[in-house]
Amino acid sequence: LLASTTFAEGRGAPVKDVLVVVDLKPGVDLEEGRRAVERAVADVPTIDVQDKEEFAAAVGSQINQILVTVYGMLALSILIALIGIANTLSLSTFERTRELGLLRAIGQGRNQTRAMVRWESVVIAVFGTTLGLATGIAGAWALVTSASGAELSRFTVPAGQMAIVLGLGALAGVLAALRPAARAAKLDPLQAIASV
């Protein structure tokens, strides 16, 4: 991120204000102040006069358009992560065939084996989701605090949405473990022990 003055100096262009914030004097009605500002800029048709709520809605609309793209990329990354977790678990169960056979031989049931692999997947998925959330929150904080003045924006962490994302991460772990867990549960104990 560059300050507008630094950017303009590098390009040799004049610095132009793109946002002007007007504070009303105490006792001045919002509509009265708005009409006064609109009269002052009436000869410049490209200027849009907005109150705080309208400005927040306009910025929110722009951010929502960006978020649609981000959500699409997020869905793709979740799909890739599911494939990665399933692949890792498949390799893990293949490499631990003998260990799983021993567990089955000493009395571990198919459901217990399936649950063990499933919980391993959930732990991996929740760890990755937590790390991703922490990185995302830190990045969002850096963007919000550096991109605009404190009077126009504030940094908030939507705890409810974060909890939903964490829950979806755990669910993704369960889904990724379906096939590897079923494969591990179907192992024949004697053949698994005999494999090297």
The average pLDDT across 11-40 equals: 77
pLDDT of residue 171: 92
Residues 188, 157 share a domain: yes
Residues 58, 146 share a domain: yes
Specify whether the CB–CB gap between 126 and 119 falls below 8 A. Answer: no
Residue 49 has pLDDT above 60, yes or no: yes
Identify which has the larger pLDDT, 178 or 5.
Answer: 178
- The closest of 113, 118, 84 to 99, measured between CA atoms, is 113
Residues 55, 41 share a domain: no
Residues 62, 31 share a domain: no
Residues 16, 43 share a domain: yes
The average pLDDT across 24-51 equals: 82
Spell out a b/e string for 53-72, using b for 16 or more CB atoms within 10 Å of the CB, else e: eeeeeeeeeeeeeeeeeeee
Average pLDDT value for the chain:
84
Interatomic CA distance for residues 103 and 193, integer angstroms: 10
The total number of structural domains in the chain stands at 2
Residue 196 has pLDDT above 60, yes or no: no
pLDDT of residue 151: 54
pLDDT of residue 162: 92
Residues 156, 87 share a domain: yes
Residue 134 has pLDDT above 90, yes or no: yes
Residues 60, 33 share a domain: no
Residue 141 φ then ψ, to 5°: -60, -45
Helix (H) or strand (E) holding 101: helix 97-105
Residues 77, 129 share a domain: yes
- 190 contact partners, CB below 8 Å, separation of at least 6: 101, 105
Residues 185, 109 share a domain: yes
Interatomic CA distance for residues 74 and 168, integer angstroms: 12
- Prediction pTM value: 0.63
DSSP structure string for 16-74: --S----PPPTT--HHHHHHHHHHHTTT-TT-----HHHHHHHHHHHHHHHHHHHHHHH
Residues 159, 138 share a domain: yes
Please say which residue of 49, 70, 86 terminates a domain: 49
Of the listed ranges 142-156, 158-172, 182-196, the least confidently predicted one is 142-156
Residues 108, 27 share a domain: no
Please say which residue of 27, 49, 71 terminates a domain: 49
Q: What percent of the chain has pLDDT over 70?
A: 87
Domain that holds residue 109: 51-194
